[in-house]
């Protein structure tokens, strides 16, 4: 995992990973390093990365395909998705559906080029750096301490009301609320 | 006589300074190596014997010879100690005077013909040499590219034991060769986000994740483009800063991977779901290796 430090760790087929293996992600995601026990002491190695996971919605993989019917029972789906623990999901800020593409989309025009998107990302990162304490190299919204996120985001009454509804109706945990604020801050940094 | 040379041991991704104390005394001929050397370190005796003989360098093996790798409580692994040990032994033997021994870091594995073989973890060792304020470092010629990432430390590529001896015999170190410039990060020109068609929501999410450093989960049927999108995330991330580049390169160097390529773009690791905990995290029976 240290080889993904300062980069991206991509876990494809997240539900196929063993629970023990996924548990090892907890320390890097929380602390940014991984501790390996050796028979003469411990060895701490840096492991701060962005995690990207990919998950099928069910074991047979046909949910979401336009003309196919999923053959899984609800129990099977629950068991399959249950392999990815709640605490791990809680630490992933963005859960994004990626539906099957239609023929029109597949043969349609290409999307924006990497360079174009990269310049927008760079601008958002510059705004974050401007807000951070001088000398702090890790200033992305995902890594800011909780206290700074609260002080950096001012919510109008509309936003407060929406958030209150979300927390009540969706039973959001404090950690989830914190992550919502961070992502909101990033979306704001990306806008013109 | 006692002579001390300097080298380093890599633990995880960091290097620790190691003093190789070589002592040659009259007595029953015996060669002992202490300081928790592992098998490959202990095997250096055979490599050094053959290398010295094949280079025509005289050495009195019929004495009581002790080599201590200090700190004695730190486990020593690998073959990178050969050069420091060989030079320390030669100085302790008394025939050679090496004024620079003890001021520079010596790294390299000895082949039986006296040439130097590359080892892994050179970059963390060089970083340690610089932070310890050493006058320079001698590394196998094949490892010299890692030198580019450590400005401020004179680094001497050496191809053979004889070259190392010649260098260290000088009263003052000559100027080190210029290692060249650090390769500029190109941000990953190989694959492009334009290749993903449609999927506006997922693209937007990827952009948000990149902008704020957020973690991301794609949920969708097979073939919808989840993997394609994930692979294009490093390309839209800002390039590695200099500090991040050195850090990343040091980790790759410690793992035995080419450090230069590590700084060209952000790392992207994609372990298979059958990976064990050890394969993912590192560690295992040998030294704690970065994964």
Tens of pLDDT along B33-58?
999 999 999 999 999 999 999 999 99
Chain B residue numbers touching A92 (CB-CB < 8 A): 215-217
The residue that leads in pLDDT, A138 or B5, is: B5
A120: pLDDT strictly greater than 60: yes
Rounded distance between C-alpha atoms, residue B60 and residue B68, angstroms: 18
Question: pLDDT tens for residues B60-74?
Answer: 999 999 999 999 988
pLDDT at res. B53: 95
Could you read off the pLDDT of A15-62 as tens digits, one per residue?
999 888 888 898 899 888 988 876 666 788 899 999 999 999 888 877
pLDDT at B14 over 80: yes
pLDDT digits (tens, 9 = 90+) for B77-126: 989 999 999 999 999 999 888 988 889 999 999 999 999 999 999 999 99
Q: What is chain B's mean pLDDT, rounded? A: 89
How many A/B residue pairs have CB atoms within 8 Å? 298
Q: Find which of A60, A114, A138, A182 to mutate to test the B interface (most B CBs within 10 Å of its CB).
A: A114
Give residue B134's pLDDT.
94
Taking CB atoms and an 8 Å limit, are A4 and B203 in contact across chains?
Answer: no
Inter-chain contact A117–B248, Cβ cutoff 8 Å? no
Rounded to a whole number of angstroms, the distance from the CA of B73 to the nearest CA of chain A is 9
Q: Tell me: pLDDT of B179 over 80.
A: no
Closest CA of chain A from B267, distance in Å: 4
Supply the ipTM of this predicted assembly: 0.91
- Could you count the other beta carbons within 10 Å of the beta carbon of residue B170? 11
Burial class (CB in 10 A: 0-12, 13-18, 19+), A174: exposed
Reading phi first (left if > 0) and then psi (alpha if -120 to 50, else beta), residue A41 is in left
Nearest CA of chain A to the CA of B149: how many Å? 17
| Cβ-proximal residues to B244 (8 Å cutoff; 6+ apart), any chain | A6, A137
B193 → closest Cβ in A97, A111, A189? A111
d(CA B68, CA A10): 44
Q: At residue B191, does pLDDT exceed 80?
A: yes
């Amino acid at each position: 995992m240290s080889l993904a430090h300062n980069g991206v760790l991509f876990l494809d087929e997240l539900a196929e990973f063993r629970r023990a293996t996924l548990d090892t992600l907890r320390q890097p995601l929380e602390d940014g390093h991984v501790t390996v026990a050796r028979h003469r002491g411990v060895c701490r190695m840096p492991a701060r990365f962005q995690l990207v996971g990919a998950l099928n919605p069910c074991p047979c993989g046909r949910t979401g395909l336009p003309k196919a019917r999923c053959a899984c029972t609800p129990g099977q789906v629950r068991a399959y998705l249950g392999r990815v623990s709640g605490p791990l999901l809680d630490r992933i800020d963005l859960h994004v559906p990626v539906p099957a593409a239609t023929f029109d989309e597949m043969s349609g025009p290409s999307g924006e080029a990497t360079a174009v998107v990269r310049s927008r990302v760079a601008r958002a990162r510059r705004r974050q750096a401007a807000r951070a304490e001088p000398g702090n190299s890790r200033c992305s919204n995902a890594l800011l301490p909780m206290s700074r996120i609260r002080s950096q985001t001012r919510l109008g009454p509309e936003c407060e009301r929406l958030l209150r509804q979300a927390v009540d109706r969706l039973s959001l945990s404090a950690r989830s609320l914190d992550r919502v604020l961070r992502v909101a801050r990033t979306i704001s940094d990306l806008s013109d | 006589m006692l002579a001390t040379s300097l080298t380093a041991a890599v633990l995880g991704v960091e290097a620790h300074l190691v003093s190789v104390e070589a002592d040659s005394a009259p007595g029953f001929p015996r060669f002992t190596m202490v300081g928790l050397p592992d098998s490959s370190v202990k095997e250096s005796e055979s490599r050094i014997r053959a290398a010295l003989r094949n280079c025509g360098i005289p050495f009195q093996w019929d004495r009581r010879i002790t080599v201590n790798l200090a700190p004695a409580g730190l486990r020593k692994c690998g073959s990178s100690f050969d050069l420091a040990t060989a030079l320390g032994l030669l100085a302790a033997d008394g025939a050679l005077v090496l004024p620079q021994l003890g001021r520079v870091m010596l790294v390299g594995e000895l082949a039986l013909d006296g040439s130097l073989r590359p080892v892994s973890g050179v970059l963390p060792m060089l970083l340690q040499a610089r932070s310890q304020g050493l006058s320079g470092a001698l590394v196998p010629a094949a490892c010299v590219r890692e030198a580019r990432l450590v400005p401020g430390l004179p680094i001497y590529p050496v191809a053979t034991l004889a070259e190392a001896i010649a260098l260290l015999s000088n009263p003052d170190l000559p100027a080190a060769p210029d290692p060249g410039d650090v390769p500029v990060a190109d941000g990953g020109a190989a694959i492009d986000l334009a290749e993903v068609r449609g999927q506006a929501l997922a693209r937007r999410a990827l952009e948000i994740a990149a902008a704020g450093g957020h973690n991301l989960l794609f949920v969708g049927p097979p073939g919808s483009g989840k993997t394609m999108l994930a692979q294009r995330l490093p390309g839209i991330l800002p390039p590695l800063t200099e500090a991040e580049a050195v850090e990343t390169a040091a980790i790759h160097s410690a793992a035995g991977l080419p450090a230069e390529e590590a700084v060209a773009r952000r790392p992207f690791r994609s372990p298979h779901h059958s990976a064990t905990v050890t394969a993912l995290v590192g560690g295992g029976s040998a030294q704690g290796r970065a994964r």
